[in-house]
Amino acid sequence: MKRILGILLALIGTASLGAEPNALPPDSLYQLQAALTDQDGRAIRLDVHRGHPVLITLFYSSCPAACPLIIDTLRATEKELDPATRANLRVLMISIDPGRDTAEALHRLAETRRVDTSRWTLARADSADVRTLAALLNVQYRQLPGGEFNHSSVITLLSPQGVIQTSSTRLGTPDPALVAKLGP
Amino acid sequence: MRHAAQVVCLVVAAACAHTAWAAQPAAPRAAIPGGTFATILPPAEKLKEATVRAFQMDRRTVSNADFARFVADRPEWRRDRVAPIFADAGYLRHWPNATTPGENLAAQPATQVSWFAAKAYCEARGARLPTWYEWEFVAAASATVPDARDDPQWRQAILEWYARPASATLPDSGSTAPNFYGVRDVHGVVWEWVLDLGSMMVSADNREQGDPDEKRFCGSGALTMEQKDNYAMLMRIATLSSMQANYTSGTMGFRCVTGPEPRP
């Protein structure tokens, strides 16, 4: 009973603290309570990189063409930045293929593509959360009967508080508009 | 954490509003057997049929009274508290206040509700929105047969709905005649949100996958629709594809289903 009361008090405490010093802007994507899993199997939230500017994008690891290009584009975009800006930037890639993209599959991809997981996170979410995320990021996607996906490729820049700053559909080369928003 | 909340719930009645509503059984849903049918939106190039697995569908659209219970249970979905990323300024605007629809609107379908809110409502009920194919499968039924789409009289009756002025008062939720599966309001009341809203305008042509000249897929689905004489369905797709997930409309409602989560 004491323990239950303790939990109750803790809950009340959390609720009353709720809003203030950590309140998110009303248009912050971090209000979405999506449960993600990263490439190391850790449970994370969409706001895993809160406090840093984040390039966020949806992809799937078995994708033959567009998705490798997404990683290349993210890298090329980072190369345009000065070292301090780059060191402060984070990348969050979320799979639209929860069926095949297990944490292990994401881990393999991170190794194969030599992803710096100190700043980049590959993550998966359940399909209901993926749909909500895709809607928030304005990504259209559809699974084809063979298991592949057709999807629009959108790289979105989030502010440290999770507000969309700009987004780009350019693949292959860095989008100057994105680089300008990231720049010092 | 959820477990802890339930523990507390046993102790403090006031904290139980949340789980109490969510735990209330839904009205029995109609059993839809599933099957393979000719779809208006081909799932892949040269594949004109879609397959849906068996699922259970709400027999009527969600009403304002239903939605008010959800809002009471999940106050973050009140119109004065909802995050603007999840609903535009029209969200529940037609209610006289932030918590109740008032007597006049109570039995009418819940409209002015965004896709995000509709999806959250269904998830709170342990259900989900139907996919387009699930909805289309049920919508092919008349009162007597599962697929009446070649019946000119049935088609005409549906089309007549579109001729009604938009300003007319919405019929009550569940007030239209049941179809073959016992599902009401499929035609003649409101448009309905579908789970895969973000898939409807994606091309089904996998040759475009990764095509360097076609890195975004935009609107191509519209070009590959079948049954171009099925105006009622074409209008529905046009309406859905014009909606963003945070949009609300006085003629867009929804219902929930249960069943295996379909592929994204």
CATH number at residue B65: 3.90.1580
Looking at CATH, the fold of the domain delimited by A24-182 is given as: Glutaredoxin (3.40.30)
At B167 the three-state DSSP class reads coil
Mean pLDDT of B63-81: 97
Q: Is B207 part of a structural domain of the chain?
A: yes
Q: Is B143 part of a structural domain of the chain?
A: yes
Q: Is B1 part of a structural domain of the chain?
A: no
User: Complex ipTM, two decimals?
Assistant: 0.83
What separation, in Å, do the N-terminal and C-terminal C-alpha atoms of chain A show? Answer: 55
Mean pLDDT of B43-51: 84
Is residue B184 within 8 Å of B178, Cβ to Cβ?
yes
Q: Is B8 within 8 Å of chain A by CB?
A: yes
Task: Give A90 to chain B, closest Cα distance, Å.
Answer: 22
Q: Whole-angstrom Cα distance, residue A45 to residue A47?
A: 5
Task: Give B152 to chain A, closest Cα distance, Å.
Answer: 32
Q: Whole-angstrom Cα distance, residue B192 to residue B239?
A: 10
Task: Summarize pLDDT for A142-184 with one digit per residue, the tens.
Answer: 888 778 888 888 999 999 999 999 999 998 899 999 999 998 6
Q: Whole-angstrom Cα distance, residue B57 to residue B258?
A: 7
Q: Whole-angstrom Cα distance, residue B35 to residue B47?
A: 15
User: What are the Cα distances from residue A153, in Å, to A68, B47, B118, B249?
Assistant: 11, 25, 26, 28
Residues in A touching B215 (Cβ below 8 Å): 66, 69, 153, 169, 171
Give the CA angle between residues B151, B152, B155 to the nearest 5°.
90
pLDDT at site A94: 97
A150 contacts B217? CB cut-off 8 A: yes
Instruction: Select the more confidently predicted residue: A113 or A147.
Output: A113
Task: Summarize pLDDT for A64-84 with one digit per residue, the tens.
Answer: 766 788 999 999 999 999 999
**Mutate which: A62, A132, A140, vs B, most B CBs within 10 A:** A140
CB-CB: which of A29, A64, A171 is closest to B215?
A: A171
This prediction has a pTM of: 0.86
Q: Is the pLDDT of residue B11 over 70?
A: no
Pick the closest to residue B121 from B253, B259, B261 (CA basis): B253
Mean pLDDT of B214-224: 42
If one counts every other C-beta atom within 10 angstroms of the C-beta of residue B32, the result is: 24
Q: Whole-angstrom Cα distance, residue A150 to residue B164?
A: 38
Q: Is B203 part of a structural domain of the chain?
A: yes
Q: Is B241 part of a structural domain of the chain?
A: yes
Q: What's the total number of domains in chain B?
A: 1
* CB within 8 Å of chain B, chain A residues 131-160: 131-132, 134-136, 138-146, 148-153
What residue spans define the domains of chain A? 24-182
pLDDT at site A179: 95
At B6 the three-state DSSP class reads helix
Domain that holds residue B167: 28-258
